[in-house]
Amino acid sequence: MKRYHVIVSGRVQGVGFRYFCVMNAQQLGLTGSVRNMSNGMVEIFIQGNEIAIDKFLAIIKKGNMFINIENYTIKQLPIVHDEQDFIYNY
């Protein structure tokens, strides 16, 4: 079990990126949250099985015809033991 803090930049606001993250994280059984930042970037907290997290990151890096990640940073964090869902934060 791992937990990461990810900040992504590029075309990630106004294109359904948060929904894209929620749907893919839930399908992979991951927990955490995603939110838009005031600087145009998106912040993700992702937790779960390392293989599932790697799949999630590969999916969001690939994006879709609307989403285009130009850059991202990732930092490992301590596990949050009582977290149960992957949600939007506002």
Distances (CA, A) of 32 to 22, 24, 42, 64, 66: 9, 12, 13, 22, 23
Residue 64: active-site member: no
Set 18, 39, 64, 89: catalytic member: 18
Specify the 3-state DSSP secondary structure of 19.
helix
Element (H, E) at 76: strand 68-77
**Which among 11, 35, 36, 68 is annotated as catalytic?**
36
User: CA quadruple 28, 30, 33, 36: dihedral positive or negative?
Assistant: negative
Has 18 been annotated as catalytic? yes
> Active-site positions?
18, 36
